[in-house]
């Protein structure tokens, strides 16, 4: 198989900002979601053939409150209010994994906050096929 990493700071960001003030991120930074429901990051990924893929979202949440997000693939909800629990510190990054089916070609994968607290800080999306 292969794994491709897509940095959050290079994705399409709506109601979030790229920051780099907490260590341990990959690439040049991470996305700090605005504290509003609907703040989101959307990646465009490519798969040479249709099939199952493992998605890995790397995030940090320095609070003790869950920061759920809806995960959609090409507009279809694949994870409803997926939990992003506290990681202990803003510089402590963890990975959340889910399995999806991707068509051949390009797909859009979106992670959108579902509460007014906003999302966690998001470092990257990896697609393992």
List the interface residues with ligand GCU, window 9-38 (CB under 6 A): 22, 32
Nearest to 96 by CA among 87, 105, 106: 87
- Sketch the per residue contact string, 45 through 84, with ligand GCU: x for CB under 6 A, - otherwise: ----------------------------------------
Residue nearest to ligand GCU (CB): 32
The smaller minimum CB distance to ligand GCU, of residues 29 and 43, is found at: 29
Q: Which residues lie closer than 8 Å to 11 by C-beta, 6 or more apart?
A: 31, 41, 42, 43, 44, 125
List the interface residues with ligand GCU, window 105-124 (CB under 6 A): 118, 121
Q: Closest separation between CB of residue 31 and ligand GCU, Å?
A: 9
The smaller minimum CB distance to ligand GCU, of residues 78 and 82, is found at: 82
In the list 25, 90, 93, 124, the residue contacting ligand GCU (rule: CB under 6 A) is 90
CA distance 41 to 117: 15
Question: Using an 8 Å Cβ cutoff, are 103 and 47 in contact?
Answer: yes
CA distance 80 to 26: 26
The smaller minimum CB distance to ligand GCU, of residues 67 and 110, is found at: 67
CA distance 59 to 111: 11
């Amino acid at each position: 198989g292969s794994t491709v990493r897509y940095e959050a700071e290079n994705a399409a960001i709506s109601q979030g900002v790229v920051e780099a003030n907490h260590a341990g991120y990959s690439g040049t930074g991470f996305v700090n979601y605005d504290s509003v429901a609907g703040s989101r990051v959307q990646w465009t990924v490519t798969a040479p053939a249709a099939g199952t893929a493992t998605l890995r979202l790397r995030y940090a949440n320095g609070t003790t409150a869950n920061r759920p997000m809806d995960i959609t693939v090409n507009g279809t909800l694949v994870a409803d209010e997926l939990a992003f629990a506290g990681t202990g510190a803003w510089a402590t990054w963890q990975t959340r994994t889910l399995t999806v089916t991707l068509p051949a070609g390009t797909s859009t994968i979106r992670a959108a906050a579902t509460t007014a607290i906003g999302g966690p800080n998001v470092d990257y999306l990896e697609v393992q096929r």
